[in-house]
Structure formats: C-alpha cells, structure tokens
C-alpha cells in the first residue's frame, strides 16, 4: 500500500511516496518564492503554489514505474489565505501569507473595540494579522473583483489545503480540515463550525468558506487530467503542517513539545482540553479523527530560521550554513543581542510595531559575534515560548522534539538545549510533516504505524548561570525592541 504525501510549505513544496511501514520510496521538492511588495506585507502566487505542487507530484509519480498509489495526504503552510473564482479557477490576487502584517491597524481597532475576549473564547486565538479572518476582510475591501464574485456566489476563500484539494479534485470539492479551520479566527473550536458571530466581528461572510471536516476524512478523489495521477485516488488526510509535524513525531500524550524550525517557528504541545492562554500563546485543535477532537497549545514565532539567512545576506557571506560556521569561531556573542523582529514579534510577546534590532555592540564586536547572536536569538525565541507553555499548563515539560530545515544544524540544537536547560531531540527524518499526514492517511485506511521517530539527542553543556545571563540580556533586548 502506498500513500502520496504532499507538504506544501512556505519555502518549498515536497512530495513523498510512503509505504505502510513508513519507508520513503521517492521524494521531490520545489522551492517557493515570497514577495514583500510593501513593508510588513508578504505574498505568494497562488498559481505558483499549485504549479509547484503539480510539479512535485509528477516528479515522484514518474519514479514509481507504474506502481499504483492508494491514497493522498496533505500537510500545508497555515494561515495563508487564497481567494479564487469558482468558475474559472483563477486566483483573486496573490495569496496573503501567514507572515503578512498588512491588517495590523484593523486588528488593533478590533481589539480597541473590545472584541478580543469574544474571539479568543471561541477560537483560542487572540486577534492578530497572522490569522486569515482579517485577511479575508481586507480582500473584500481592497480587491473589487472579490466582492463581485461574492455577490454571484462564485468567491471561494480558504487556506492552502482547500486550494490544493479544489485543484486536485478538478474543482468538485471545497473543504478544509478542522486543524486548518481552527487557525482562521472564524471557526468555533468547541462547536466545530464556522461562527456567524465571529464573521460579524470581522465583517466577513461564511458563505465563501470551505466545508470543515475531521482531519482523517475522505476529502475527495483526484480528477482526470489535472496531474499525472489517475482519477479516483482518494485524499484521506489533511492537516496544517505544524499539526502534522506533532503527529509525525508520534506525540500522543501530554508533556512533550514539538518545535518546527522554518521561516518562522511553531511550538505545539497537547492539552487535555481547550486551553485559554494567559501568556501570549494560542489554544488550537491539534487534529480531529475517529477518536474525537485533540486539543493543543501553540506558540508562533514570525521569524525564526529566516533570521540566519537575513543576517548572512547583510554580512555578505552567502547562506545560513556559512553564518553558522562563522558563529562557531567565537565562544560567546560578547554581549551582542539580535532581536529578529523583521515582521514584528510573535508569541509570546506579540508586538506588531517591534523592529529588528542589534544591541550590545562595541569596538570589539566582530561579524562572528553578530552571527552567534543570531543563532542565540533563534533558540531564545523558542525558549520564551517553551517557558510560556509551562506557565499556561502549570506542569513541567519533559523535553523538546525538533524538526524543520534548521533542526539539522547541530550547533543550533546544542544552543537550544543549553538555553532551555533540558534535552532536545532532533528528528533524523527531514519530512516529518509529510510523514505525519501520511500516518494519518494510513490510519484512515486501517493501517496503524508510527513515523520514524529516530532522533539526535542533545543534552545541556552550558551552566545554568551562563544560560540565565544570556536570557536576561535577551529579555532586556526584547524590551528595547518593543519601545
């Protein structure tokens, strides 16, 4: 039995063919481009997202020598909003990326009007430009063709999973899963349905939104001619990528945190029920399946591993790998702190006005110190969210399981263990989100298996006093960045 697992992320789109034992037979990847047309804005071409997905599907199918695929699983970048015409399939402008802050003024106005408590009670999410609700309102106000399509009943608006599903099924299925729906701020995570009250607050309709379904649903079947896949292959699982990664790590009980190191970072840990955070985090649905609804607590960092690529570019030394090599030529950052608030600050600080800052430089500061401060910043942001999670659930978390491209950097993972003062286990398999979605699809097909959970383990080497000194300097740097 074979499952095609698609992982459509912010920086690339991947496809894997996985068997019932979790063995990966073939893989393909295609890079994605993000555009920043104005300060604080972030967009991707919705057409390119589908073209890249179709490209990687065709690439892995070509390697299978005619072997049949039994099902498809999808994991996807979350909170990115796509709007399109149901009749033509043409997107209504670029997809607005999760990282985009264009609706910050509108969100601030909603908070000032006293709506945050209502929104958070229904969704677990504080009002923020990260989430699609305010993005949809912006599209309806700023793209005249969208309003016309809405009036005609032709507007479709959804997260990337619903866009891929619609294309794979030749426009016959418009649906999403509960994990992605829970990230829109328009979905009641207790009632598991779109909320008319939330739609009224954000001044958005629900008529253009996809049908929400459990994550292990039979979402539809492939249509003829849209890819090299034959028609009739069922799509048996869809999850947001962070949720799929948590599932892929084999986390089924409380106490373990998953952290994904990508453009941004998502930390997630299971909770026994819906949790309202008082420390800048989000309550969310981890997934829904035949056993019911599984809830989680999450912290979203807006700029994580992307910070290394950014500083590498500023220093003119190539890429994040070169920056890591440079950082390791010094033993400390020598008092330098870098706050990578390049798109504001996410969890647990949530400050849209914060900007990137480098502090603590002297005549003795070298590029190597700035490089080391950059990697410390990635780890320190994770540590802040980890600490907030412990406070919210009032229990000691036992460790951190990591995935994403930057998690393969042993220097960063050691820093992470040092600054958290707890073990860190970095997944050996890179495609953990895709494997998590595949595992759920196999479960839907009656084949239970856990993805490959082998990991590289890192234990703290830094003294607690040294770690505390670095974290104290970081907290001061965060305070200055938020002024």
pLDDT in tens, 32-54: 999 999 988 999 999 999 999 99
Give SS3 for 170: coil
pLDDT at residue number 253: 87
Provide the 10 A C-beta neighbour count for residue 36: 14
Of 45, 43, 13, the C-alpha closest to 30 is: 13
Give the Å distances, CA to CA, from 352 to 267, 282, 302, 338, 482: 20, 17, 10, 17, 9
- For residue 112, give every residue at least 6 positions away whose Cβ sits within 8 Å of its Cβ, in sequence order, or none: none
In a domain, residue 454? The reply is no
Share of the chain above pLDDT 90, in %: 86
Q: What is the CATH number of the domain that holds 51?
A: 3.30.420.40
Length in residues, the chain: 483
The predicted-structure confidence for 198-249, as pLDDT tens digits, reads as follows 999 999 999 999 999 999 999 999 999 999 999 999 999 999 999 999 999 8
Of 228, 278, 287, the C-alpha closest to 65 is: 228
Whether the per-residue pLDDT at 474 is higher than 90: the answer is yes
Give SS3 for 160: helix
Share of the chain above pLDDT 70, in %: 99
pLDDT at residue number 395: 86
pTM score, two decimals? 0.89
d(CA 135, CA 152): 21
Give the total number of structural domains in the chain.
1
In a domain, residue 192? The reply is yes
In a domain, residue 470? The reply is no
The predicted-structure confidence for 322-348, as pLDDT tens digits, reads as follows 999 999 999 999 999 999 999 889 999
In a domain, residue 305? The reply is no
Give SS3 for 19: strand
The predicted-structure confidence for 377-427, as pLDDT tens digits, reads as follows 999 999 999 999 999 998 889 889 998 889 999 999 999 999 999 999 998
CA angle (211 as vertex; 210, 213 as ends), nearest 5: 130
pLDDT at residue number 20: 86
Mean pLDDT of 174-188: 97
In a domain, residue 249? The reply is no
**Is the sign of the CA dihedral 347, 268, 183, 34 positive or negative?**
positive
- Top pLDDT among 466 and 66 is at 466
pLDDT at residue number 341: 95
Whether the per-residue pLDDT at 352 is higher than 90: the answer is no
In a domain, residue 122? The reply is yes
d(CA 348, CA 327): 26
- Got the DSSP string for 201-242? HHT--STTSPEEE-TTS--EEPPTTSSSSPTT-EEEEEEEHH
- Expressed as residue numbers, the domain containing 56 is 2-242
In the DSSP assignment, the letter for residue 344 is B
The predicted-structure confidence for 136-153, as pLDDT tens digits, reads as follows 999 999 999 999 999 999
Of 382, 363, 383, 366, the C-alpha closest to 332 is: 366
In a domain, residue 208? The reply is yes
pLDDT at residue number 364: 96
In a domain, residue 127? The reply is yes
* pLDDT range class, residue 353, cuts 50, 70, 90: confident
The predicted-structure confidence for 49-96, as pLDDT tens digits, reads as follows 999 999 999 999 999 887 899 999 999 999 999 999 999 999 999 999
Q: Show the tokens assigned to 424.
A: 């860190």
pLDDT at residue number 359: 93
Average model confidence (pLDDT) across the chain: 94
The predicted-structure confidence for 434-461, as pLDDT tens digits, reads as follows 999 999 999 999 988 777 667 899 999 9
């Amino acid at each position: 039995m074979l499952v095609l697992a698609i992982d459509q992320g912010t920086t690339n789109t991947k496809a894997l063919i996985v068997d019932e034992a979790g063995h990966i037979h073939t893989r393909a990847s295609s890079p994605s481009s993000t555009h920043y047309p104005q300060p604080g804005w972030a967009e991707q071409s919705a057409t390119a997202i589908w073209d890249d997905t179709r490209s990687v599907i065709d690439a892995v199918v070509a390697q299978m020598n005619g072997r049949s695929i039994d099902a498809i699983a999808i994991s996807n970048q979350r909170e990115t909003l796509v709007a399109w015409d149901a009749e033509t399939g043409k997107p209504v402008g670029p997809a607005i990326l999760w990282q985009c802050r264009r609706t910050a003024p509108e969100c601030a106005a909603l908070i000032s009007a006293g709506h945050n408590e209502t929104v958070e009670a229904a969704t677990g999410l504080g009002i923020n430009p990260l989430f699609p609700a305010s993005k949809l309102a912006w599209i309806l106000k700023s793209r005249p063709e969208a309003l016309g399509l809405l009036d005609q009943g032709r507007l479709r608006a959804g997260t990337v999973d619903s866009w891929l599903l619609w294309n794979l099924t030749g426009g016959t299925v418009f649906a999403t899963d509960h994990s992605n729906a829970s990230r829109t701020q328009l979905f009641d995570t207790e009632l598991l349905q779109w909320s008319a009250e939330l739609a009224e607050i954000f001044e958005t309709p629900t008529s253009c939104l996809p049908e929400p379904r459990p994550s292990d649903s039979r979402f539809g079947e492939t249509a003829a001619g849209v890819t090299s896949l034959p028609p009739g292959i069922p799509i048996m699982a869809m999850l947001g990528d962070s949720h799929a990664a948590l599932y892929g790590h084999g986390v089924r009980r409380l106490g373990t945190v998953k952290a994904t190191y990508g453009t941004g970072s998502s930390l997630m840990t299971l909770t026994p029920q819906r949790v309202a955070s008082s420390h800048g985090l989000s309550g969310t649905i981890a997934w829904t399946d035949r056993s019911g609804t599984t809830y989680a607590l999450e912290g979203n960092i807006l700029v994580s591993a992307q910070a290394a690529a950014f500083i590498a570019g500023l220093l003119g030394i190539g890429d994040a790998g070169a920056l890591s090599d440079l950082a390791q030529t010094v033993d400390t950052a020598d008092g330098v702190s870098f706050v990578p608030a390049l798109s504001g600050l996410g969890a647990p600080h949530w400050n849209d006005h914060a900007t990137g800052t480098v502090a603590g430089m002297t005549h003795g500061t070298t590029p190597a110190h700035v490089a080391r401060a950059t990697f410390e910043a990635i780890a320190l942001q994770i540590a802040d969210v980890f600490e907030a999670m412990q406070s919210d659930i009032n229990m000691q978390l036992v460790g951190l399981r990591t995935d994403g491209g930057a998690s393969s950097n042993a220097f960063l993972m050691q820093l992470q263990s040092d600054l958290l003062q707890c073990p860190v286990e970095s997944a050996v398999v890179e495609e953990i989100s895709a494997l998590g979605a595949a595992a759920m699809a196999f479960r839907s097909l009656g084949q239970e298996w856990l993805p490959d959970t082998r990991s590289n383990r890192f234990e703290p080497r830094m003294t607690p006093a040294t770690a505390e000194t670095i974290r104290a300097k970081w907290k001061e740097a965060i305070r200055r960045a938020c002024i």
